[in-house]
Amino acid sequence: MTLTSSIKRDYFYNLVKNGKRADGRKFDEFRNIEIETGFISKAEGSARVKIGKTQVVAGIKMDIGEPYPDSPEKGVMMTAAELIPLASPDFEAGPPREDAIELARVVDRGIRESEVIGLDKLCIVPGEIIWLVFIDIHIIDFDGNLFDAASLAALAALFNTIVPIERMRPNLEKLQEKNPSIKIYLEEHQKDYQLPMNEPPISCTSVKFNDVVVLDPSLDEEEIAEVRLTVATDKNGDIRAMQKGLNGSFTIEEIKKVIKASIDNGKEIRSKLEKSTGN
């Protein structure tokens, strides 16, 4: 937790009272978003997302493993986020703290609950062998709104992901002796193929301070925020996930406004995502 001087806080309070933001944006306007995919060749999929000065790298690794007993025919996904000390003077080395865990869980939930990854198509032998999908998110430069940057980076990396049949073939062939049905899978899947994906929800975060709600908060705005709301919307403009944070409160009107801004901006971000991943 960083302390914010009252001078700085008053400055931001005055700005929004006059309808302005420090970087000249409108209240419901995102910063510039850049998405670059596939720049890490060692990873099955990768993406670098910049929202303003916030910079996040996500990488996807895949491996084979055993399914959970309650979903014997489904692949398994895991999400981890690291707030590495590279990104901010306030991030420390060591095992993930609660904010890194919350971030990873919110991103994980958004992808898992909306069934963005076709996990049902990642089964090799039912009840025996399935694909594991690891989503690793690294915060490289921190200027606020990690929820949206991390979700977008994870999605862009997933759309860029190739299932590494070629790389895993020796391992799979070794297992074939014990488990002959692997052969059927290998015959059906001769080559690497695109990770099966469904329509993703896009998340947009707003914060409120001094009775004003602003979208895509910068770090300065996040530090004085009283309450935060993340809304993920799908292609039809329906709501797919929400998360309120911090100890402040919204009125119902404000929440409706936040949802509308999330739908409108979600559309634009979705088309950027589609463009960058060629979908």
Partner 1 sequence: MEQDIKFIDDDGKRLDGRKYDELREIKIEAGVLHRAEGSCYLEWGSNKVVAAVYGPREAIPRHSQNPLKAIVRARYNMAAFSVDDRKRPGPDRRSREISKVISEALEKVILTEKFPRAAIEVNIEVLEAEAGTRCAGLTAAGVALADAGIPMKDIPVACAAGKIGSKDDYGKKIGGNIVLDLGKQEDNFGDADLPIAISPRNGEILLLQMDGHLTLDEFDNALNLAIKGCNIISKIQKEALLQKYQVDMEVD
- List of residues contacting partner 1 (CB under 8 A): 39-44, 46, 53, 55, 57, 59-61, 63, 80, 82, 84-89, 93, 95-96, 134, 136, 138, 140-143, 167
The CA distance from 184 to 176, in Å, is: 10
Phi-psi region of 161 (alpha: psi -120 to 50; beta: other; left: phi over 0): beta
Q: Residue 7 or residue 93: which is nearer to partner 1 going by CB?
A: 93
Q: Residue 46 or residue 277: which is nearer to partner 1 going by CB?
A: 46
Q: Residue 86 or residue 227: which is nearer to partner 1 going by CB?
A: 86
The CA distance from 240 to 111, in Å, is: 10
Read off the amino acid at residue 135: I
Q: Residue 83 or residue 259: which is nearer to partner 1 going by CB?
A: 83
**Minimum CB distance to partner 1, residue 255 (Å):** 32
Q: Residue 48 or residue 208: which is nearer to partner 1 going by CB?
A: 48
**Minimum CB distance to partner 1, residue 82 (Å):** 6
**Minimum CB distance to partner 1, residue 85 (Å):** 5
CA 46 to mean position of chain CA atoms: 12
**Minimum CB distance to partner 1, residue 244 (Å):** 27
CA 234 to mean position of chain CA atoms: 14
Q: Which two tokens stand for residue 94?
A: 């060591």
**Residue tagged 């493993």 (tokens):** 65
Q: Is 234 in contact with 201 (CB distance < 8 Å)?
A: yes
Q: How many CB atoms lie within 10 A of CB 234?
A: 18
**Minimum CB distance to partner 1, residue 42 (Å):** 5
The DSSP output letter for 55 is: E
Q: Residue 58 or residue 202: which is nearer to partner 1 going by CB?
A: 58
The CA distance from 106 to 175, in Å, is: 35
**Minimum CB distance to partner 1, residue 62 (Å):** 8
Q: How big is the CA angle at 186 (ends 185 and 187), to the nearest 5 degrees?
A: 90
Q: Is 144 in contact with 90 (CB distance < 8 Å)?
A: no
Q: Which two tokens stand for residue 148?
A: 């949206």
Q: Which two tokens stand for residue 192?
A: 């690497």
Q: Residue 55 or residue 203: which is nearer to partner 1 going by CB?
A: 55
**Minimum CB distance to partner 1, residue 122 (Å):** 16
